[in-house]
Structure 1
Amino acid sequence: MSNNNRDAQRTARQRLAVEREKQKVAQKRRRALSVSAAVAGVLALAAVIGVIAASAGEDEGSRSAGPVVAPSGAQGKDALAVPVGKDGAQSTLTVWEDFRCPACKAFEAAYRSTVHQLVGSGKLKARYHLVTLIDGNLRGSGSLRAANAAACAQDAGKFTAYHDVLYDHQPEESDDAYADNARLIELAGKVPGLDTPAFRKCVDDGTHDGWVRKSHAAFQSARYSGTPTVLLNGKDVVGSRMTPAALKRAVEEAARH
């Protein structure tokens, strides 16, 4: 690996650490606000209920809750994971991610080439879980709609390519650009064969919105600290600061046994 590549990966990992800390601060702030809201609720319950109802609508745009429709080939408990790679691979990389999350993009920048190489070699299988953490932190619906669009891409057998496009064109965290279905469909044009009438209908209808919400609920139930949460055979990759080279060594070692 060249010195330039090492420097780029180091910078991406440093950014990943910074973004995860920012998430933790934001979550602590939200918890504090929730406590304050609860106190206020004792004094004015009816008003608080109205605020909560209004906020719920703001977070997810005009889309109403629908049925839970898993994308094609989804696996795991309640079919909440999008599988990538061969089922027979010795190692499993479990990824909980949000397409609006800057730390997730930093993880992609540092680890994507290694993950793609290991998946391509048949030594690693990845399981992607899509969540809406940033929608909750900053308001909006871009996390939800981008996740639904990625699930629509999975229906077309083009999840990985579209997944990478979404991160390559990720807007600023405060810019809810992915709430615009037209933008998500425009980006599908960068994946050969994805921009079809079926894909467009899936995106516009929010076919997998209920599935995304259920995935996020599972993320909350697991009490993970933030996105990305990345586990290699159950071991925390991000928290342990496992480098891409170390991840590769661990996967290759497992494949020899």
Structure 2
Amino acid sequence: MSENNRDGKRNARERLAAEREKRRAADKRRRTLIVGAAIVCVLALATVVGVLAANAGKSGKQSSAGPAIAPSGAIGKDSLAIPVGMDSARSTLTVWEDFRCPACRAFETAYRPTIHQLVDAGQLKVEYHLATLIDGNLGGSGSRRAANAAACAQDDGRFREYHDVLYDNQPSETQDTFADNDKLIELAGKVSGLDTPAFRKCVKDGTHDSWVTRSNAAFEKSGFTGTPTVLFGGKNIYADQSMTPAKLKQMVEAANKS
């Protein structure tokens, strides 16, 4: 074989080897691009799924809130007031309160006997509006949970009794004890006939949560500065430093005579 032939064959083999190497390199780049594209697609799909899940979660949260279901017998604008007393009573006391509010408990402790006396005698009716001021100021959900439970008690015609039990067992302002539905159900045991399957379901389902939210929104729009806000004849008597239970009784009796 001549030297020229050997050189030609060697050059041909080298060209073939070089060509094969180029093809391998091209195939490797192509596989890399394919894998990279697949990864991008997976990540993009995961992002889409994540967004959809997040939106579904938001939609679920909104839908779970549902319509504002007022408790049985609620009255007034948007049915936001729970009435206690006889419809025929000529005088009305309007109370905005928060079951976590220490000042509300202090008002209850001082004025409850007089208010009960006037209500039972048919001289006064009380319209209770429930707020969640402490939840907003200190965090937690005890104000809302307790308000929902009180609305559930109203459904059963036992609002006043349960209302009083909640204040008698009010925790420290910084303790969100009323956020525990089991605690609220336990306290219902102190009211004869209240701890029923229907009441328990109402509490656990948060049946009146949206109504409580609407009630608190009305409080925030009202311009009132705190709880309790106690209105008689359009005036906030709680802001009157000279007010006493005896004076309130005199005011009710005088208003009923006029």
Classify the TM-score, shorter chain. 0.7 to 0.9
Q: How does 1:85-234 map to 2 (within 5 A)?
A: 85-234=85-234
Shift of 1:169: 0.2
SS of the residue aligned with 1:126? strand
What's 1:9 paired with?
none
Whole-Å separation in 1 of the counterparts to 2:181 and 2:190 = 15
Whole-Å separation in 2 of the counterparts to 1:246 and 1:86 = 22
Unaligned residue ranges in structure 1 (runs of 5+): 1-56, 58-62
Q: Using CA pairs below 8 Å that are at least 6 residues apart, which structure has the higher relative contact order?
A: 1
What's 1:38 paired with?
none
SS of the residue aligned with 2:128? strand
SS of the residue aligned with 2:127? strand
Name the structure with the higher helix share. 2
Q: Radius of gyration: which is bigger?
A: 2
Whole-Å separation in 2 of the counterparts to 1:251 and 1:220 = 28
Deviations 1:177-235 (A, max 9, x none): 00000000000000000000000000000000000000000000001010000001212
Whole-Å separation in 2 of the counterparts to 1:211 and 1:135 = 16
Whole-Å separation in 1 of the counterparts to 2:100 and 2:163 = 12
Shift of 1:88: 1.5
Superposition RMSD in Å = 1.5
SS of the residue aligned with 2:78? helix
What's 1:256 paired with?
257
Larger deviation, residues 126-135 vs 236-245 = 236-245
The normalised TM-score by structure 1 is 0.75
The normalised TM-score by structure 2 is 0.74
Unaligned residue ranges in structure 2 (runs of 5+): 1-57
Deviations 1:139-158 (A, max 9, x none): 00000000000000000000
Whole-Å separation in 2 of the counterparts to 1:73 and 1:64 = 24
Deviations 1:85-127 (A, max 9, x none): 0112111100000000000000001100000000011010000
Whole-Å separation in 1 of the counterparts to 2:221 and 2:109 = 28
Shift of 1:70: 0.1
